[in-house]
Amino acid sequence: MDLIVNGGKPLSGTIIPSGNKNSALPLVCATLLTDEPVTLHNVPDITDIAKIVAFMTRQGSRIDWDKAAGTMRLDHGAFKNELVNHELPQDMRSTVLLYPALLRRVKKIVIPANATGCSLGVREIDPHLEILAKLGAVIDESEPLVIALPDGFRAARHWGDYMSVTVTENFLMAAALADGESTLINAASEPHVQDLCAALTLMGAQIEGAGTSMLRVRGVKKLNGCTARISSDYHEIVTFLALGAITGGEIRVEKSLPQHFDLITRAFAKLGVTIEHEGTTAIVRRNQSLVIEEPYTTNLLAKIEAAPWPYFSVDLLPLMVALATRARGTIHFWNKVYENGFSWIPELAKFGAHILVSDPHRITLFGSKPLRPAIVDAPYIIRATIALYMVAASIPGRSMVKNADTIRRAHPRFVENLQTLGAEVEWK
């Protein structure tokens, strides 16, 4: 679907963000580790979760999902411990988060050949296979790939090549029921990983080091049911603050997780935007200066670089790129994670943005150039698609962001929320 945008209007109002997609997916998958009922609150109504729920329901799980209230009750007591045709949910990368629980239940899974995600770059499966093998799985490297767990998970110590979020989450789920104490060094520590640690702890897991790069998990015999809450989506919080800034409006975002915002606030400040916090409400005031901050080392460009948490989040970088098109000055952006993280920049240039692509990981943006409405093609990258919308929203006139429905993978009611802020935007 396409987004039709009549831009140039300040967006103002109050928003309550949805639950974090990147928390919700592993939490829903983790409920398969127990036969006792689990209740989740603040569950976002997004396509990937719907696919996981449909799979679990086909296997016999009872799931009651009140989408309006954001509440989901999952009971896997009748889950069939055999997969029909080895079938797993297709066309999404988050299927890998089902592996630990399914191996516990069905003992053997076949990896689908066409699991996808977005267009940021190659998402290798090797680190997942490595961590599962360390914890007791047996890998048959035939075609298709078969993973088996003949004797249950066993404790292990592992030092990851890099801070992978989903590998860390799979480690947590497998180690929670492993025999002995497991350690993961170079663990991811993002807010959504912290959410999973908190939920597993409520289920009876014994986890030390949540929010750090070293996790220790003492395995238990069984996990119990619980009630857990998914935290606000900090990506969505930043999205609406950036939309206020780029359109000259004033937006307040409630339930805004200020404890995670120090570096995010600094990134905004580099673009001349001040973010305020009143309790748990984040505020961007109208008519921000939008002047790129000059570094003290005057022979260097201002820079925003993104890498695994606690660095500035790489998923937020496109929003800062969009905002920088309206800021006076020059700034360097460095994506240290994805080799295709800037593949969408030619679409941004259709609006008139001046950007030099140095290599797949680095760009230099010359801000405050004259922009014009345009028809652009969205990549299969959630935040890059939103960034294209941001720029269109800041330009008087009619623009179109084609194939923008990848936004729905992470942001329920995105267009409806924009309309409450005064945006003239609609799906076509």
Given CA atoms 182, 49, 31, 150 in this order, what sign does their dihedral have?
negative
Give yes or no for a cis peptide into 310 (omega within 30° of 0). yes
The DSSP code for 110 is E
User: What whole-number distance in Å separates Cα of residue 85 and Cα of residue 147?
Assistant: 15
Q: For residue 137, give the nearest of 127, 124, 126, 151 by alpha carbon.
A: 151
Q: CA angle 235-53-230, nearest 5°?
A: 35
Of 29, 118, 197, 226, which is the active-site residue?
118
User: What whole-number distance in Å separates Cα of residue 394 and Cα of residue 403?
Assistant: 20
Q: For residue 246, give the nearest of 421, 428, 3 by alpha carbon.
A: 421
Biggest alpha carbon–alpha carbon distance for the chain: 65
CB-CB neighbours of 356 under 10 Å: 12
CB-CB neighbours of 297 under 10 Å: 7
121: its two tokens: 């770059």
Is 118 designated active site?
yes
404: its two tokens: 């923008």
Q: CA angle 98-104-105, nearest 5°?
A: 85
User: What whole-number distance in Å separates Cα of residue 383 and Cα of residue 387?
Assistant: 6
Letter string b/e over residues 152-169, b meaning 16 or more CB atoms within 10 A of that residue's CB = ebbbbebebeebbbbbbb
The DSSP code for 232 is B
CB 199 within 8 A of CB 27: yes
- Tell me, what amino acid is at 391? V
Find the radius of gyration of the CA atoms of the chain. 22
The per-type count for the chain, helices as H runs and strands as E runs, is: 12, 23
- Tell me, what amino acid is at 320? M
Residues known to be catalytic: 118
